[in-house]
Structure formats: structure tokens, C-alpha cells
Amino acid sequence: MKAFEKFLIICVLVSFITGCGGTPTVTQPPAANPTATQPLLPTEIPLTAAEQWAKDNGLGPYQPATEDWAAVEAAAKLEGKVVIYANSSKIGKLLDAWNALYPDIVFEGNDTDGIDTKMAAEQEAGNVVGDVWFNSDGHLLFGKFVPNQWLWSYVPDGVVIPEVTPERPFAIARHGTDLFGYNQEAHPDGCPITNIWQLTEPAYKGKVFMEDPIADVSMMAKMATFVQNADKMAVAYQDLYGKDWTTDEFAGTDAFGMAVENAGYLWLRKLAYNEPSIQPGGDEVDAAYATIGMDLTVEPGIGFTGYSSYQTTMEGELAMAPCFGINPVSGIFKTSYLAVANNAPHPNAAKLFIRFALTQDGFDPWNELGNFPAVDGLSAAEGTLPLAELKAQVWEMDPVFDWNNVSQIRDFWAVSLLTAPQEEE
């Protein structure tokens, strides 16, 4: 028993010493998980197939700051050809100047109808033929082709185009002007109208000549500009009639439920109600009201046409003169863009063409009254109204607004044509 009691005493003493003065046993926390305390690194978003193609070919956001033009030209010669879809018959006038520079690269410049339809179909089919978009339909460029990555921007290094921005990165070849014109033989003292709302009055019923906005998407986009500037249209209405546009008899909702949202829409409705004379093309528009020697015993009317038509008048072949000074606007300022098709078969030749198109030789076929080069340092035609003065007379098209609104405006115009009041017999 004594031995056992001594053993118990020793155990108690050991326990006491350990609890009071011994080194405590420390419980180590679990090893930290480095991924639990450090932020995860972002995963790089892979490029789309179109983006990879653009990167491989130095286009769009992947364009190099400085281009090796000797290498581009050598690659373009191996490609052997460039195909341009342009909405101008003057594209063919570039052939000689191009051949003088690049005789080994075949130039196929086509005046192409429905460029957007054609190029979209090629992209969707995966059978791309056209290399270059050379077109003024900016609303389709920004609204349809950019989101689908069907076109890529390219601005050659050293070329200064002030309007090019990160949001609107495409090269601009030129600006053109469409405006209201009159027959100067019938009105030698100047334009017979001073306010745009006069075109909706009985004196001009059937006497406003224009291309078809329903058939021509470019024309409809121009019409959208009148809607975009509705506040100025409202002021012009007040100036002419001495009352607010909302008091007009046609300012309400028509039989199809189409409401007039602003003064721009009202002007379109009243113009449609005034039975404008729709023509198949610009030449026909000019011929309808400005043919030399036409019958002037009746009002020949007003045409919506290119400012460049006045060049034909100066050459003695037409009686058209521009209607400057109309309240609130005399015309529309439009822009021609250049872009490279996604998966273009000749991307290097496309680069060469865009650089060429942005030179004086590239602009010269369009160097006539009303057209202005976008590139700093190029010259406009002699006799053209200075750009600052012209811009005070016209409204510039907004491709983003046009894209967002042109479908609604097209429907409104079409319904207005259908619901025009009929005269009692």
C-alpha cells in the first residue's frame, strides 16, 4: 500500500508542476490556404475568331502604330488583287492612278448597289469576296457591322483625320452634301422658298422631287436627320405660322395609330401628304425640275439633290442652283467611310487601297462642289462654299441616332404615304 500511495503522490506532483510551470502544448492552426487569402487573377478572355483574324492582320484595335509598308506591299502583290464595294460610279476613275502605283495588283472597284446586303451575306455564308467597304451608310456600319465584327477599321499611320476617335475609329474618305435645289431659270432672283415648311404647302404639292426613302436606306437615314433636329424644326414652324407645331391639324395620331412625336415627324407626315415626286436616281431628280429650257409657265418645283449637281449647271448642262438660306436648314452633310471586311481575302491590298484613297489622287474623282476631303492637307474643289459656311447651312448625319431610329421613321413615312388625305372630286 505504501508503495502505491507513493506512486499516487508522485503523479499528483508531476501534474501540478506541469500545469504551473511547464511549457504548455501549443495547438498549431491549420496551414493557411494561399488561394483563400489572395485575390484570384482574372482569366484572360479568349479572342473571337474574327478578333483573332484582325489581330493576325493588324486591323482594328490590333493595328500597329507604325506599318512596314514595304512588307505590306510585298504581301499585297502576292495576294494579287483588291476588291472594293463602293456606292459611287466614280470609283472606276481611280483605276489609272492605282495602276500607275501598283501595276501588279488588280483593281476591282465596283459601283455596288446594296453594299450592306451583299457584304452581310458574304459574312454569313463564310464566302467573303469584297475586301473594302467604301460607303456612306454610317448607321449600318456602326449599328450592324461593328457589333457583328464584320468590318474592321484601318487608318494608315501618318494620315490625320480629325473626326476619327476611339468610339468612331473608321477612316473617312470624304464628306458630301445633299441639299434642296431650285430652277434658276424660273427663279433668277434666288430660291423661291425661305422656310422648309413651305415644301408641305399646296404650292409644292407633287413638286418636291427626291429619291425613294423606302427603297434607298441612305435616303431614309437622311430623313432621320430632320427628326433628330426636331427642336429646330419646331422653331421654324413657329417662325412661319406664328403658332406652335402642336396646333397643326395633322399633329395628332393617324388612322393606323402613328403618333407625331415631335416637329420633325410632323414635317415628314405633311411632306408625305403633299405627294412628293419619287424618282429612281439623282440624275432623274435633277432632270425633273432643273432641265434647261423646260416649261416654266408652271412652277418647276424643288429637288433634294447633291450639291455637286451645281457643277453641272456651271458647265451649262443644268439649271439647278442650291437653295441656301432656308430656315432652319438647307441640306444634309454625309460621310463616306472606309473599312476592311472581316476575313477579307486580300487584307494587305485593302490596306494599300485605303492609304491610296486618302491621298489627293484618291479624292480627286469626287473633288467637285459640295464634297470635302476628311484628311488634313487635301484640297477641295475651287468655288466650293468654305466648309465653316456650309456647315452653318446643313445638318450632319449621326450614324448612331440613324441606326436607333431609322426603322421607326421608315414605318412612319410609309404609313403617312398611305394615309394622305384625298381631295374631293
pLDDT digits (tens, 9 = 90+) for 381-409: 888 888 889 899 999 999 999 999 999 99
Report the pLDDT averaged over residues 113-126: 95
Per the model's pLDDT, the better-predicted residue between 23 and 411 turns out to be: 411
Backbone angles phi, psi at 394, to 5 degrees: -130, 165
In this structure, are 135 and 196 located in the same domain? Answer: no
Band the pLDDT of 424: cuts 50, 70, 90: low
Does 32 have pLDDT greater than 60?
no
In this structure, are 321 and 348 located in the same domain? Answer: no
Q: Is residue 266 part of a domain?
A: yes
Give the pLDDT score at 388. 87
User: What contacts 247, CB < 8 A, 6 or more positions away?
Assistant: none
Q: Is residue 11 part of a domain?
A: no
Report the pLDDT averaged over residues 185-200: 97
Contact of 180 with 273, CB cutoff 8 Å = no
In this structure, are 105 and 134 located in the same domain? Answer: yes
In this structure, are 147 and 187 located in the same domain? Answer: no
Q: Is residue 181 part of a domain?
A: yes
Q: Is residue 383 part of a domain?
A: no
Q: β-pairing, 277-279 with 394-396?
A: unpaired
Integer Cα distance of 85 and 338 in angstroms: 10
**Domain assignment of residue 118, given as a range:** 51-175+335-378
Q: Is residue 359 part of a domain?
A: yes
Q: How far apart are the first and last CA of the chain?
A: 140
Instruction: Write the single-letter amino acid at 262.
Output: N
Give the pLDDT score at 112. 87
Give the pLDDT score at 224. 97
Contact of 87 with 137, CB cutoff 8 Å = yes
Report the pLDDT averaged over residues 205-211: 97
Integer Cα distance of 272 and 263 in angstroms: 14
Integer Cα distance of 146 and 339 in angstroms: 10
Does 12 have pLDDT greater than 50?
no
Q: β-pairing, 394-396 with 331-341?
A: parallel
Give the pLDDT score at 6. 39
- Total structural domains in the chain? 2
Q: Is residue 100 part of a domain?
A: yes
Tell me the C-alpha to C-alpha distance, in Å, between residue 257 and each of 208, 274, 415: 26, 20, 10
In this structure, are 113 and 87 located in the same domain? Answer: yes
Q: Give the DSSP per-residue string, 298-323.
A: S---EEEEETTHHHHHHTTS--EEE-
Integer Cα distance of 88 and 202 in angstroms: 35
Tell me the C-alpha to C-alpha distance, in Å, between residue 263 and each of 84, 330, 335, 353, 421: 40, 17, 25, 43, 19
Minimum mean pLDDT among 30-39, 48-57, 80-89, 166-175: which range?
Answer: 30-39
Give the pLDDT score at 300. 97
Nearest to 271 by CA among 193, 181, 199: 199
Tens-place pLDDT, residues 68-119: 999 999 999 999 999 999 999 899 999 999 999 999 999 999 888 889 999 9
Q: Is residue 74 part of a domain?
A: yes
Q: What is the mean pLDDT of the chain?
A: 90
In this structure, are 288 and 255 located in the same domain? Answer: yes
In this structure, are 119 and 210 located in the same domain? Answer: no
Report the pLDDT averaged over residues 262-277: 97
Band the pLDDT of 20: cuts 50, 70, 90: very low
Give the pLDDT score at 149. 98
Minimum mean pLDDT among 5-9, 116-120, 182-186: which range?
Answer: 5-9
Band the pLDDT of 42: cuts 50, 70, 90: low
In this structure, are 232 and 319 located in the same domain? Answer: yes
In this structure, are 291 and 360 located in the same domain? Answer: no
- Compute CA 16 distance to the chain's CA centroid, rounded to the nearest angstrom: 90
Give the pLDDT score at 258. 87
Does 421 have pLDDT greater than 90?
no
CATH at residue 273? 3.40.190.10
Integer Cα distance of 17 and 134 in angstroms: 95
Radius of gyration of the chain (CA): 34
Minimum mean pLDDT among 63-67, 111-115, 358-362, 381-385: which range?
Answer: 381-385
In this structure, are 233 and 168 located in the same domain? Answer: no
Tell me the C-alpha to C-alpha distance, in Å, between residue 81 and each of 25, 56, 344, 349, 354: 83, 20, 11, 7, 14
Does 412 have pLDDT greater than 70?
yes
Q: Taking the C-alpha atoms of 219, 220, 222 and 227 in order, what is their torsion angle to the nearest 10 degrees?
A: 160
Minimum mean pLDDT among 18-32, 138-152, 273-287, 326-340: which range?
Answer: 18-32
Report the pLDDT averaged over residues 141-155: 97
Integer Cα distance of 348 and 56 in angstroms: 12
